[in-house]
Structure 1
Amino acid sequence: MGIVEILGIAGSVSLLSGWRLYLSIVATGLAMQWGAIPLPDHLASLQVLASPWVIGIAGVAAITEFFADKVAWLDSIWDTVHTLIRPVGGALLALAIVDPSDPATQVIAFILGGGGALLAHGGKAGARAVINTSPEPVTNVAMSAAEDVATAGLLYAAYEYPYAAGAIALALLGLSIWLLMLARRVIRRIFNAGKFNAGKKAPPAV
């Protein structure tokens, strides 16, 4: 496996950690236990994720996140709490994936992994905050379920087809940036509409 494939996997995992950190840990650990992800020797440090203790603790956290993420505004509170946790987790996962004998690559992976997870987290949190302005709960639940399926599927695809991991990482990066820009535009529109309505209702000066 070449450096491009390794960095592609690290990028994909860190970006997906910005959406579902605990699910990323559980899915990776289970795939290792079941042999769905045959890791080369230099990725053996990731085998710690296959520990029953790690999978169990991360599984409890993933179940908690699964339900919390489908309740309007509770999901935004959960995202706020994880603003630091997800980037650190993404950075550590990326660090564990790259070759430990190359310190320069490890530093790059740690920085980019943390930055990618933070970017994905920001896009997710912003999009969900916008969705929460709608009174109906269906969109919020559908978006959360889509994140669950996409995280598990793309994580498996990145490990199973490492040559495509770079493309997956780039697609996730583009999606995260688009979500951030979309949330920014919608929030600005809501804020401007609120100021306009407040101005219309202001009493005349005497």
Structure 2
Amino acid sequence: MSVLPLVFTSGWASGVNAYAVVLLLGLFGVTGVSDDVPRALQRPEVLIVAGVLFLCEAAADKVPYVDSVWDSVHTVIRPVAGAWVGALLAGHSGSYSEVTAALIGGSTALASHSVKAGTRMAVNASPEPFSNIALSIGEDLGVGALVSFALFHPRAAAVVAAVLLVAGLATLFFLVSRIRRFLRRRAQRREERGLASRVL
């Protein structure tokens, strides 16, 4: 069976929370829940580092503006993690080119990371902090559920990940266009106020 669906899903999930993906896959492998997890992800030091960084992300991700700074730092980290996990999965299964799997995992992670970072910037415009917390919890639960589902039903999980990615990109496009319109109107109002003050 091709490992491509699992690579695609893990790439999408890595773009949202790479540390959760590595930690979950590693734990599934160590506990014997799945035989599809590469040994490299089951190493104790990998699990410890992934666990600590997951806790750091869980905290940073729920604080307005701190989450956007965290996302900026992870613009490179998440796609690299998606590519690394994809290559490991392909090499472990022996059914897909590691280079191709790395490209798919990395590019999918970059796309989903862009959706996450852009959505967070839009949400940070809201004055209350609860939307950040709700969004962060939803993302963590979604990643956990989809990665778990992907190990046993990779094709179905890949379809869900594709739908989420397309929906996320469409939402991001809508939010960006609205934010641009809002900024243009605000700049126009400032100019009008400036002209009015000069006249007075």
Aligned CA distance change for structure 1 residues 12 and 102 (closer, same or farther; 3 Å): closer
CA contact (8 A) 2:7 2:104 kept: no
Match of residue 13 from structure 1: 10
1:36 aligns with 2:33: yes
Q: Which amino acid letter does the alignment assign opposite residue 55 of structure 1?
A: L
CA distance in 1: counterparts of 2:45 and 2:91, whole angstroms: 25
Match of residue 69 from structure 2: 77
**Count of matched residue pairs:** 197
Alignment equivalent of 2:90, drawn from 81, 91, 98: 98
Alignment equivalent of 2:191, drawn from 190, 196, 199: 199
For structure 1, the 5+ residue unaligned runs are none
Cα deviation 1:12-49 (Å, max 9, x = unaligned)? 0011100000011111111112222232xxx6xx2211
Alignment of 1:170-185 (within 5 A): 170-185=162-177
The farther-off stretch of 113-122 and 162-171 is 162-171
1:143 aligns with 2:164: no
Offset at 1:92? 1.0
Q: Which amino acid letter does the alignment assign opposite residue 155 of structure 2?
A: Y
Q: Which amino acid letter does the alignment assign opposite residue 68 of structure 1?
A: A
CA contact (8 A) 2:27 2:42 kept: yes
CA contact (8 A) 1:83 1:118 kept: yes
Q: Which amino acid letter does the alignment assign opposite residue 128 of structure 1?
A: R
CA distance in 2: counterparts of 1:106 and 1:145, whole angstroms: 32
3-state SS of paired residue (1:35)? coil
3-state SS of paired residue (1:36)? coil
CA distance in 1: counterparts of 2:148 and 2:109, whole angstroms: 18
1:67 aligns with 2:64: no
The farther-off stretch of 72-81 and 192-201 is 192-201
Offset at 1:187? 2.0
For structure 2, the 5+ residue unaligned runs are none
Alignment equivalent of 2:108, drawn from 116, 121, 135: 116
CA distance in 1: counterparts of 2:142 and 2:128, whole angstroms: 23
The farther-off stretch of 177-186 and 21-30 is 177-186
Q: Which amino acid letter does the alignment assign opposite residue 34 of structure 1?
A: T
3-state SS of paired residue (1:136)? coil
TM-score (norm 1): 0.88
Identity of aligned residues (%): 33
CA contact (8 A) 1:131 1:139 kept: yes
CA contact (8 A) 1:36 1:160 kept: no
Aligned CA distance change for structure 1 residues 72 and 98 (closer, same or farther; 3 Å): same
Runs of 4+, deviation exceeding 4 Å = 99-103
Offset at 1:141? 0.5
1:166 aligns with 2:162: no
Q: Which amino acid letter does the alignment assign opposite residue 59 of structure 1?
A: G
CA distance in 1: counterparts of 2:91 and 2:54, whole angstroms: 28
Aligned CA distance change for structure 1 residues 87 and 141 (closer, same or farther; 3 Å): same
